[in-house]
Structure 1
Amino acid sequence: MAYQSKGDDSSREDEKLSVDVKHVEHDPKVEDSDGELLAPERRALDEKHLVRMLDLRLLPTIVLVFIMNYIDRTAVTAARLKGLQSDLGLDDIQYSTVLAILYASYVPAQIPSNIILNRISRPSYYIPFCVVLWGLTSALTGEARNYAGILAARVFVGLPEAAFYPGAIYLLSRWYTRKELAFRSAILYGGLLVSNAFGSLIAAGVLAHMEGKRGIRAWRWLFYIEGAITICIGLLAIYLLPDYPHNTRWLSPAQRRLAQVRLAEDAGEADEDTPKESAFTGLVQALKDPKVPIFAVMACSQLLGLSFVNFFPTLTATLGFSTTISLLLAAPPWIFATIVCCANAWHADRTGERFFHINIWWWGVILGYIIGVTTMSVGGRYVAMFLMATGYSGFALTLVWVSNAIPRPPAKRSASIGIVNGFGNLGNLIGSYAWKAEWGPDYHPSMFIGIASLAFASFLALVIRYMLIRENKELESNELANLTGARRERIEEAARLEGLTFEEALERKKGFRYLY
């Protein structure tokens, strides 16, 4: 706050106080008025503090949940190594169906779940409720006694799990700007990659030491233990997750306004739906946008190419070691992939580039498959597994790219994320049958399928890149022409939040471009 000099001793003291105040670091615990956090001398410091709060509270929570999400989902692959398939009397086709059936509920539930998430005011209740539900169902999977029982358990694990990943990406997009989102999303996706490492380590410990305890097979203990951990984390998430920038309870009113202003500045429009933009209109807008179906097919193709993840313990077992050693060998490739994923996303945020930061890792997987096809040596195939694992560094940015390419309105963005991730996971469903036991131990046909799928995904990514380049050129040549309706309302709301005139907000809007 500045003080004006009036020519007397009192005014000189005021001037001195003004200088001192500007150099005192702000205490974020002190309640501020809306305008103070947006003042130029305070803005950078308080925005940095807000982002740090999110990084320390939102990110660790969703990463921890995501770790358990994939550990619970893929526990069946580790359990197979210790008798699940023989105990339940499953043949190879039935086992593949057990893997695939999860996606029968997981895929179609994602679109309505994300639409619900966009319409409700408290995602801090909705997401944790789904976490507790899938943790309970995962624990009950240990009670399966036959083929029908484990099929039912897998269906009801997939249904609440559908709420998490697309929902988490959407929640991140409501808090972070375009240049912040890729790195944070990669940290989230690092939870998946770490889960493959820690899931194998947990499984190795449980399967090695819990066999026969209290008369229960070790693979059943694996589901009980992992499910119970997930339930506890879900209950904790209720208190840690934020809601939306306008209604999060553990932020001050001024911080909530600052959070909204950041996103309005980022896209030149307020990150809010207008009264005329319902969940249904958002879905219709997403379906009409030609980029959305191309993104969806691209995601499906890449996940088919990356479907080895559901068989990774089986692949490491082909190296010829014991069950425990095979599970331990499955961890290092995923730890390495996590590091690569975060470094790649950090650079993607710095450069604003998307296509190459996604595709280069798919090409690495293709190289890994080529190595796997041409050699059966332990060293060569293990190197190939490292290359295969890093392919998920590309998938980690897929929904980020969707969010960047379809930023407004939020109803359309949430529906687009649900469509792309939901349809994309059909690739995992198909991939459940692409790694047949009779094709082992070399799995050459599976690797050829992966090469073709990733090559096709890369082609579709190139198509999207050129579509965004063309749209940017259109923005340059016809900037803000015929600006009416909902788009005008969002720019007006952005101007209100930032204390600008509508004309100033219009001028700032001209700087927006799609990231490709």
Structure 2
Amino acid sequence: MTPSRSSSLMEKPGLADVKSAEVVQEETDAEFGGTEARKRLEKRLLRKLDLSMSIMIVIYILNYVDRNNAGAARLRGFEQDLQLQGTEFATLLSILYVGYILMQIPSNMFLNYIGKPSIYLPVCMMVWGSISILTGITKNFVGALLTRFFLGFVEAAFFPGALFLISKWYKRSELGSRTALLYCGNIISNAFGALLASGILDGMQGKLGRAAWRWLFYIEGSLTIFVAICAIFILPDFPATTRRWWLSEEERRLAMKRMEEDAGVGDENETEVGGHAAGLWLAVKDWRVWWLAFAMTSQVVALSFNAYFPTLSATMGFGPTVTLLLCAPPFVFTAVLAFLVSRHSDKTGERFYHISVPIFGGIVGFIIAICTMNTAARYISLFLMAQSYAGFVVLYTWVSNSFPRPPSKRAVAVALVNAFSQLGNVAGSYVWPSAWGPTYRKSYAICIATAGCAIVMCYIFKLHLTWLNKKLDENEEEKGIKEKGFRYLL
């Protein structure tokens, strides 16, 4: 409040600002028929968006099923038929992430440029489904290596593209639960993939003269292509480019207005920041992007048990079918927990503790697995390990929250963090050698160290965002602004 303001206003600080904000809001809402009409329109818009975006959960399930089916195939002769030796199986797992890392940033930049995720993402999905089918006809290590490399090359388009797509439609307060729902596709894939694999591997052995593990790749790849065709007609594009029949022009304008209000600048205009090349440069030179990338890499190493989950389940001493069936419950539990944790994180506007507590729970699971070979205790430890994904989901949301605008920078930042973190999958593929089994104590110790590192790095990042919010408070106070603007979520 400046000294020139009247004493009556000084006696009631903020009253004029509140009235002014209400007037501005009413003028903004008049475009949509008033405040109440806008609320109804916004509710309808979100309902339509949620229904349309739900197809991405199915896509993500198939994305991970196609990526992780090698672990299930290993139980039914995959290694023997391809005559794999030493670390060749681990190399097949890790080579996927080479292509995955290389393509994420160019893919998201291209997606932001064309503005048509409803075409781009399903086409990529069809290609990786076809490559998955080709894995089933490989005869040796080299053939499998090539299909796994190109599988990662094409799969790279989906997850960073999906994160970018939902960040273009949903406000920061809505993003956590939507990201959680999307990532539940990853988590559920471990349960669904195990159940599907147990049925195929148990019932398809020798059909048409083919091994069951080959049928696993044929059937899951074909299912991926079918869903991709359906997704072309369901997925939305960006608010500024979409022309879907289910979205009215008024709803489209409201979608753009919502995002403009959420961060103070519209998504459709990037000329002020130099467009896509500037977005790349802004992301690459921002140390916070690299800090989060390293934090996520550490946590990805801690989650490397995922690709070997059937192997870890097998240490309890059951047959192949029961082993795969036992993989499902921990991830069903994790999917529910991840959604609840992310939803609570959105409601409270808090991120760090919603990340660190589940990760710490995973550390407890690793410690239990180190200490005992008791069947019940080890199964409980698998539940605790799996639930650490709940914290990882919130961490993904935190990345999108922390780089709101310009959208070209957000596209690169999300892709860069996700791509760099996949180095954790490359390293993690070698964390579980058979020679360390069945106890895998050294493997669990590595996971404890990397999970602890991730928690520490997230805490330091929280301290930095707290400092930035304090600077924003001081800036608004100096300018006499009473209504708070954008703040980073902690």
| TM-score when normalising by structure 2 | 0.92
2:68 is matched with which residue: 49, 74, 79? 74
Residue of structure 2 in register with 1:512 after alignment: 486
Name the SS of the counterpart of 1:478 in structure 2.
helix
Whole-Å separation in 2 of the counterparts to 1:305 and 1:273: 40
Return closer, same or farther for 1:475/1:394 CA change in 2, 3 Å cut-off: same
- Aligned residue runs from structure 1 range 7-406, under 5 A: 36-37=31-32, 39-58=34-53, 60-250=54-244, 251-276=247-272, 277-406=274-403
Taking only the aligned residue pairs, the percentage that are identical comes to 47
Whole-Å separation in 2 of the counterparts to 1:280 and 1:125: 23
Are 2:366 and 2:445, in contact at CA under 8 Å, matched by a contact in 1?
yes
Whole-Å separation in 2 of the counterparts to 1:46 and 1:273: 24
Residue of structure 1 in register with 2:454 after alignment: 457
1:425 and 2:461 equivalent?
Answer: no
Residue of structure 2 in register with 1:445 after alignment: 442
Whole-Å separation in 1 of the counterparts to 2:265 and 2:477: 12
Unaligned 5+ runs, structure 1: 1-33, 483-502
- Aligned residue runs from structure 1 range 485-496, under 5 A: none
Name the SS of the counterpart of 2:225 in structure 1.
helix
Shift of 1:81: 0.2
Residue of structure 1 in register with 2:19 after alignment: none
Are 1:340 and 1:393, in contact at CA under 8 Å, matched by a contact in 2?
yes
Whole-Å separation in 2 of the counterparts to 1:123 and 1:407: 19
Shift of 1:288: 1.8
Whole-Å separation in 2 of the counterparts to 1:273 and 1:289: 22
**Aligned residue type for 2:153:** L
Which region of structure 1 is more displaced relative to structure 2, 396-405 or 150-159? 396-405
| RMSD value, Cα | 1.5
Q: Deviations over 1:311-349 (max 9, x none)?
A: 000000110000000000000000000010000011011
Are 1:144 and 1:150, in contact at CA under 8 Å, matched by a contact in 2?
yes
| TM-score when normalising by structure 1 | 0.87
Name the SS of the counterpart of 1:175 in structure 2.
coil
Q: Deviations over 1:423-461 (max 9, x none)?
A: 001101100000011000010000000000011111110
**Aligned residue type for 2:86:** D
Are 2:358 and 2:387, in contact at CA under 8 Å, matched by a contact in 1?
yes
Name the SS of the counterpart of 1:96 in structure 2.
helix
**Aligned residue type for 1:101:** I
Shift of 1:481: 8.7
Residue of structure 2 in register with 1:22 after alignment: none
Whole-Å separation in 2 of the counterparts to 1:353 and 1:38: 34
Name the SS of the counterpart of 2:161 in structure 1.
helix
Are 1:341 and 1:396, in contact at CA under 8 Å, matched by a contact in 2?
yes
Residue of structure 2 in register with 1:24 after alignment: none
Are 2:240 and 2:268, in contact at CA under 8 Å, matched by a contact in 1?
no
Report the count of equivalent residues: 459
Unaligned 5+ runs, structure 2: 1-28
Name the SS of the counterpart of 1:434 in structure 2.
coil
Name the SS of the counterpart of 2:170 in structure 1.
coil
Residue of structure 1 in register with 2:473 after alignment: 476
Name the SS of the counterpart of 2:115 in structure 1.
coil
Whole-Å separation in 2 of the counterparts to 1:202 and 1:476: 53
Q: Deviations over 1:343-374 (max 9, x none)?
A: 00110110010101111111011000000000
Q: Deviations over 1:445-502 (max 9, x none)?
A: 00000000011111110111011000001111123999xxxxxxxxxxxxxxxxxxxx
